[in-house]
């Protein structure tokens, strides 16, 4: 007997503003959760499983219209002729009270009740499945005490949407402990809610969060998919995590210490992107599906580099360099965001201590940063009141800028000075 365990599909999850990014692949982003579901159903058919388990948050929230529900129906109907049964619990995102629209039930798809835990015995496969849905989004009590005793002689599977003992990224819904899961005497706990793949316990019973099926934004990085489990005579004889995400999120952190030209930056980026997209690397195993996968990266540039000054002189330079390099990857890589966290290669502390004009400038910057009123007075003296600014730029008048803006301007100016000096001091 084989089964798939998936959770947190968040079907038709909205883009959360991603489509506003420059050059964003809007359609691939928008359809990703649907295509991952198609990949899940493909896998169920190809590997000839008997059961598909979905441990909550199948939907992201109430359907905008009936299309979301119809799409799910359409995919589930592909499983019916194969004799594959589907078992679902509702989670906080698709709790009974949240989903107002409804479609007719499908005979091979069982959604567990939210009022009490229920069981379905499947003697033909030697399996019993137990579960309970969320009635409302914020379930704060432990749902476990209501779960039925294991059916003797069966491989007992429990479905539960739970924050378990707590996770900083997720609401602590339906909290419970591994010890209590173990005490039920079940053989497998199919959990959902935590979006990161996590094997809570290898065996006795096996307790697993498969993670979400498809990452939805730049913080949900790495491979996403489901668990495939094979049971023989009541024992797990094989298990694997199968990557099903059609679009994968990455965080690329690049240390630019010693990288002092845009060309060299390009070389470093090319190497980093090649490594990322290489089959078997972060891009996942080789194969047809892997080649079709789109990769989305947030790039963080850090370290001490004179490029810090080049960026200060020409804001946007480094982001443009990163995006240009990503374009070399033939449409397989989209840069979601570039974060420039570079520092000047010069030892600022040592420079500020110098007994010359440069040291004096840096000491003056420090003095102004420490004293908001002094900064305001100095800026007023240096720039005047801005009376000559055209009307449409009135927001930039010195008397209208807040303290944070002044500090940012001052640091930008310092970066430009140091960049110029950096060139002089390092050549």
Restricted to residues 267-286, the positions that interact with Mn ion (CB under 5 A) are none
CB of 316 to Mn ion, least distance (A): 38
Restricted to residues 190-219, the positions that interact with Mn ion (CB under 5 A) are 193
Residue among 25 and 172 whose Cβ is closer to Mn ion = 172
CB of 124 to Mn ion, least distance (A): 32
Is position 414 an interface residue for Mn ion (rule: CB under 5 A)? no
Q: Which two tokens stand for residue 274?
A: 């090649």
Helix, strand, coil distribution of the chain in percent, nearest 5:
35, 25, 40
CB of 10 to Mn ion, least distance (A): 9
Burial of 247 by CB count in 10 Å (0-12 exposed, 13-18 middle, 19+ buried)?
buried
Q: Which residues on neighbouring strands pair with residue 333, listed in sequence order?
A: 295
Residue among 92 and 184 whose Cβ is closer to Mn ion = 92
Question: In terms of DSSP H, where are the helices of 62-209?
Answer: 67-77, 178-183
Q: Measuring CA to CA, which residue among 102, 103, 89, 84 is closest to residue 40? A: 84
Number of residues counted as binding Mn ion (CB under 5 A):
4
Restricted to residues 91-150, the positions that interact with Mn ion (CB under 5 A) are 91-92
CB of 216 to Mn ion, least distance (A): 12
Residue among 173 and 186 whose Cβ is closer to Mn ion = 173
- How far, in Å, are 91, 93, 120, 162 from residue 138 at the CA level? 9, 9, 26, 11
Residue span binding Mn ion (CB under 5 A) among the ranges 74-82, 143-151, 187-195, 408-416: 187-195
167: Cβ–Cβ under 8 A, 6 or more apart, which residues?
194
Buried b (16+ CB within 10 A) or exposed e, 27-64: ebbbebbbbbbbbbbebbeeeebbbbbbbbbbbbbebe
Number of other CB atoms surrounding residue 380 within 10 Å:
13
Residue among 193 and 224 whose Cβ is closer to Mn ion = 193
User: In angstroms, rounded to a whole number, what is the distance separating the alpha carbons of residues 109 and 137?
Assistant: 22
Residue among 181 and 379 whose Cβ is closer to Mn ion = 181
Q: Which residues on neighbouring strands pair with residue 302, listed in sequence order?
A: 255, 341
Given CA atoms 200, 201, 207, 208 in this order, what sign does their dihedral have? positive
CB of 57 to Mn ion, least distance (A): 4
Restricted to residues 34-93, the positions that interact with Mn ion (CB under 5 A) are 57, 91-92
Q: Measuring CA to CA, which residue among 298, 236, 211, 274 is closest to residue 5? A: 211
DSSP string of 114-127, one letter each residue: SSS-EEEEEGGGTE
Residue among 62 and 347 whose Cβ is closer to Mn ion = 62
CB of 164 to Mn ion, least distance (A): 12
Residue 306 Rama label (left phi>0; alpha psi -120 to 50; beta):
alpha
Residue among 92 and 325 whose Cβ is closer to Mn ion = 92
From residue 146 to residue 185, the character string flagging contacts with Mn ion as x (rule: CB under 5 A) and all else as - is ----------------------------------------
Residue among 57 and 319 whose Cβ is closer to Mn ion = 57
Residue among 173 and 188 whose Cβ is closer to Mn ion = 173
Residues engaged in binding Mn ion (CB under 5 A): 57, 91-92, 193
């Amino acid at each position: 007997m084989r089964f798939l365990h998936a959770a947190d599909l968040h079907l038709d999850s909205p883009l959360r503003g991603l489509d506003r990014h420059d050059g964003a692949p809007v359609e691939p982003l928008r359809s990703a959760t649907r295509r991952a579901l198609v990949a899940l159903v493909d896998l169920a058919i190809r590997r000839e499983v008997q059961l598909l388990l979905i441990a909550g948050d199948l939907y992201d929230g109430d359907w905008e219209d009936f299309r979301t529900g119809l799409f799910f129906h359409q995919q589930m109907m592909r499983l019916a002729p194969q004799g594959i049964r589907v078992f679902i619990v509702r989670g906080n995102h698709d709790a009974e009270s949240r989903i107002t629209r409804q479609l007719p039930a499908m005979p091979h798809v069982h959604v567990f009740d939210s009022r009490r835990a229920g069981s379905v015995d499947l003697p033909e496969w030697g399996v019993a499945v137990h579960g309970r849905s969320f009635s409302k989004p914020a379930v704060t009590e432990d749902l476990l005490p209501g779960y039925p005793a294991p059916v003797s002689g069966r491989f007992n599977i429990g479905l539960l949407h739970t924050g378990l003992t707590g996770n900083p990224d997720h609401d602590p819904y339906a909290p419970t402990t591994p010890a209590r899961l173990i005490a039920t005497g079940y053989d497998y706990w199919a959990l959902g809610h935590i979006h990161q793949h996590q094997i809570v316990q290898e065996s006795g019973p096996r307790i697993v969060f498969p993670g979400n099926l498809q990452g939805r934004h730049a913080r949900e990085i790495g491979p996403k998919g489901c668990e495939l489990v094979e049971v023989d005579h009541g024992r797990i004889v094989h298990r694997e995590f199968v990557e099903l995400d059609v679009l994968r999120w990455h965080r690329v952190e690049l240390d630019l210490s010693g990288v002092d030209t845009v060309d060299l930056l390009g070389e470093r980026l090319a190497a980093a992107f090649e490594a990322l997209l290489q089959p078997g690397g972060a891009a996942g195993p080789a194969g047809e599906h892997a080649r079709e996968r789109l990769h989305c990266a947030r790039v963080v540039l850090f370290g001490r580099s004179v490029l810090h000054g080049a960026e200060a002189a020409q804001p946007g330079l480094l982001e443009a360099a990163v995006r240009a390099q990503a374009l070399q990857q033939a449409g397989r890589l989209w840069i979601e965001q570039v974060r420039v966290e570079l520092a000047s290669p010069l030892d600022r502390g040592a420079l500020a201590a110098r007994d010359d004009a440069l040291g004096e400038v840096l000491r003056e910057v420090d003095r102004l940063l420490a004293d908001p009123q002094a900064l305001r007075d100095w800026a007023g003296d240096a720039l005047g009141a801005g009376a000559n600014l055209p009307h449409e730029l009135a927001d930039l008048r010195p008397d209208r800028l807040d303290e944070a803006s002044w500090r940012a301007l001052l640091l930008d100016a310092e970066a430009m000075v140091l960049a110029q000096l950096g060139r002089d001091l390092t050549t």
